[in-house]
Structure 1
């Protein structure tokens, strides 16, 4: 089986609007949701229905849960098991203080016994594929990582995604991809790698290296929603025709673009024929459709914080959009920039 591509779970980003945008360019093999609080889900939090919206392709969706209480995680898993999805993932990699101080995220890696007991409960609650996303650990101890993952495998975990940095390193040190390959050799289940994927060339290179069964990309896929389709084309698959703006709302949906080898791509960090202005507007339209008003500003700002890296004056545009108070204002400022800079793609 060929190496498959996955969208990483990104807070305030891995929601339906982004999935719709990426899928319109050709999509990836699996989409992980942003982490969902197990406690909030079983407690009926006011926004949980938005977090569990499985569109546009629930058959590719992996729900990621975060929490420190095994009972909450098992109960939330049982709820998600009723929905159409590819699988359920337990977050053991988040190192944000707001998460780790509760005992969740990467703090699970502090105790093999506690993590194994929790996974036993979660495994019993679902018939779906169960996976775990984690880091090297609290410290750089590869032997501990291998034993930890073997315990998870014994409890019924069917896939592990390794972000090969420690909890303390955040994103500061290079991702140690050699650990991904070594972990894969030590386990009997598929292993995915995540970290330092900047473009489609990185996706293709990691997939071709033989070190993993899947490659996960996060921030790069926000900057370049066409990333996965571009990588598939570069792998030698037939060139794919994908819409530059799926749907009919923008009046440009009939126009298509052929995704070619990244090495032959003209322009600045983009796909030939793709209009950055159009793609940004498409995202805003999807955001308004699929996210509640309370989420609009935070999600828009997060998206454009990465997507504006495609622009010559990206930092200026980030600041410009950040001053706006609603999606309409962001859209107006966005189109205004392109009206003043006709040379942008």
Structure 2
């Protein structure tokens, strides 16, 4: 009877959305996307904002996703959406030697969002169309990367310099994408705006153009392209932008632990919350935040530094073995990435994960001296055998 009732409720909701979409076309995408959030969270026994893993170069790959999933269990939804590290649209359509690794959608294909980057509209549209044929949740176009090597080509955050051009590119990409199409961006390029226009006014105009062209979700990293990580993320802009758009808005920036993650997710300022570097340092952050939420702990402050495991135990009954977690990551890296990626990905991961240790900087130095994955594993375990004192 319960199953029949649920189907009846969902059927009614779907009919309502269809009716609204026919009557109010501009609200169609927003309504459908909002329903997908509702269904996902209802199915996982929670109604908080979805939790997303940010796209990070050399980090947002299958080994990290596999590691994050190991902390999920019965009743724990963990991460809702996994954004991949940015995929070069030009290299992907040219059939580069490593593109299949970037396009790996394991272990949770239905949670995968492929992020693509490029400056050529036709390349972006073609890559989006090809990736859309894989099992995934959606396609995301990078309009936020401010790395000089990306921005100087006209890609990443440089798309934000021209509203018309960006809108045309999105409209072209939309034609070949049946799944959700999203964009991740910043407040602005950080350079002077046309005729001295206010930064937020320009941002709203830019996002409304993307919305009109077919974007169904916008993730805002509330810093400019020139600020990088030098200024505190301005989450008030996330809330303000959300009020100006019909489509959902996700927020990203300055989330340091599960307590901060949960605080943002339950604040009501955004429709979803994205975390990046903190999820590399603490791959258990998604599961921990979910457990805190389920226990009704709200945004209780966690400990810092060496107390991370103890904090997890107090608030969520999670016991984290740092050594074993690091070794598991190395095993996953060897299994799911090509040998050419092993060293760079391992050193990049431990550059954040070592921050869980008392002598983290010392361990980073040891690991960065190694030239093979096996050497990194020996150096990592050696630190724990010697003892942290």
* TM-score, structure 1 as length reference: 0.90
User: Counterpart of 1:63 in 2: which secondary structure?
Assistant: strand
Aligned-partner Cα distance in 1 for 2:331–2:296: 30
Aligned counterparts, 1:316-331, within 5 A: 316-331=362-377
Contact residue 186 and residue 224 of structure 2 kept, 8 A: yes
Could you say which residue in structure 2 is the equivalent of 1:67? 118
Deviation at 1:55, TM superposition (A): 0.2
- Residues 249-271 of structure 1 show CA distances to partners (whole Å, capped at 9, x for unaligned) of xxxxxxxxxxx976489962234
Could you say which residue in structure 1 is the equivalent of 2:335? 289
Contact residue 230 and residue 262 of structure 1 kept, 8 A: no
Q: Which structure has greater strand proportion?
A: 1
Contact residue 305 and residue 358 of structure 2 kept, 8 A: no
User: Counterpart of 1:90 in 2: which secondary structure?
Assistant: strand
Contact residue 123 and residue 156 of structure 1 kept, 8 A: yes
Could you say which residue in structure 2 is the equivalent of 1:30? 81
Contact residue 95 and residue 170 of structure 1 kept, 8 A: yes
User: Counterpart of 2:100 in 1: which secondary structure?
Assistant: helix
Aligned-partner Cα distance in 1 for 2:172–2:180: 14
Given candidates 137, 150, 154, the residue that maps to 1:103 is 154
Deviation at 1:274, TM superposition (A): 1.5
Aligned-partner Cα distance in 2 for 1:261–1:204: 9
The 1:340–1:13 alpha-carbon spacing in structure 2 relative to 1, beyond 3 Å, is same
Aligned-partner Cα distance in 1 for 2:157–2:302: 37
User: Counterpart of 2:308 in 1: which secondary structure?
Assistant: coil
Could you say which residue in structure 2 is the equivalent of 1:177? 235
Aligned-partner Cα distance in 2 for 1:116–1:99: 20
Aligned-partner Cα distance in 2 for 1:137–1:213: 21
Contact residue 302 and residue 308 of structure 2 kept, 8 A: no
- Residues 9-54 of structure 1 show CA distances to partners (whole Å, capped at 9, x for unaligned) of 0000000000000011123000000000000000000000000000
User: Counterpart of 1:180 in 2: which secondary structure?
Assistant: helix
Contact residue 230 and residue 261 of structure 1 kept, 8 A: no
- Residues 146-171 of structure 1 show CA distances to partners (whole Å, capped at 9, x for unaligned) of 01000000011000000000010000
- Residues 173-193 of structure 1 show CA distances to partners (whole Å, capped at 9, x for unaligned) of 000000000000000010000
Given candidates 58, 66, 72, the residue that maps to 1:12 is 58
Aligned-partner Cα distance in 2 for 1:142–1:184: 12
- The CA RMSD measured in Å over matched residues stands at 1.8
Aligned counterparts, 1:138-287, within 5 A: 138-139=189-190, 141-236=199-294, 263=302, 268-270=307-309, 271-272=312-313, 273-287=319-333
Contact residue 146 and residue 157 of structure 2 kept, 8 A: yes
Aligned-partner Cα distance in 2 for 1:7–1:138: 23
Contact residue 233 and residue 261 of structure 1 kept, 8 A: no
The 1:136–1:265 alpha-carbon spacing in structure 2 relative to 1, beyond 3 Å, is closer
Could you say which residue in structure 2 is the equivalent of 1:312? 358
Mark the runs of 5 or more structure 2 residues left unpaired by the alignment.
1-37, 39-47, 73-77, 191-197, 314-318
Could you say which residue in structure 2 is the equivalent of 1:246? none
* TM-score, structure 2 as length reference: 0.80
User: Counterpart of 1:131 in 2: which secondary structure?
Assistant: strand
Contact residue 250 and residue 271 of structure 2 kept, 8 A: yes
Contact residue 277 and residue 335 of structure 1 kept, 8 A: yes
Deviation at 1:282, TM superposition (A): 0.2
Deviation at 1:234, TM superposition (A): 1.3
Q: Which structure has greater helix proportion?
A: 2
1:334 lines up with 2:370 in the alignment: no
User: Counterpart of 2:139 in 1: which secondary structure?
Assistant: strand
Contact residue 163 and residue 175 of structure 1 kept, 8 A: yes
Aligned-partner Cα distance in 1 for 2:295–2:371: 43
Could you say which residue in structure 2 is the equivalent of 1:21? 67
Could you say which residue in structure 1 is the equivalent of 2:177? 126
Contact residue 91 and residue 133 of structure 1 kept, 8 A: yes
Contact residue 139 and residue 181 of structure 2 kept, 8 A: yes
- How many residues align? The count is 323
